[in-house]
Amino acid sequence: MADTATTNIEAAVFRRLLEHLDSRKDVQNIELMNLAGFCRNCLSKWYMAAAEAEGVPVDYDQARELVYGMPYQQWKDQYQAEATAEQLAAFAAANAK
């Protein structure tokens, strides 16, 4: 497969992942971390690192706005719930390994 086609496919998949996460605002970041080992904030950090590797300045707030589809504080205020004791314990156990 040509490099351009691969890049276009990967970009389309990334956009679809963001659309899917946007459609599932009920899924909390801690749940993503506990089940998949990454969350929306991780995607934001990966985006920022990839931009930096390309010489494109993107700060964390800009990257989070791209991933969350709105300013992070707005998303947090509207959709983020407090983590339960069980979620926090699962997160701690996964990170203790």
What's the pLDDT tens digit per position in 24-82?
A: 999 999 999 999 999 999 999 999 999 999 999 999 999 999 999 999 999 999 999 99
> For residue 11, is pLDDT > 90?
yes
Domain span at residue 34? 3-95
> For residue 2, is pLDDT > 90?
no
Give the residue-averaged pLDDT of 3-25: 96
Task: Take residue 5 and report the two structure tokens written for it.
Answer: 């086609």
Question: Do you know the residue count of the chain?
Answer: 97
**The domain spanning residue 80 has which CATH number?**
1.10.3340.10
Number of domains in the chain: 1
> For residue 1, is pLDDT > 80?
no
Of 56, 66, 59, 51, give the one whose Cα is nearest residue 17. 66
Task: Take residue 32 and report the two structure tokens written for it.
Answer: 């993503």
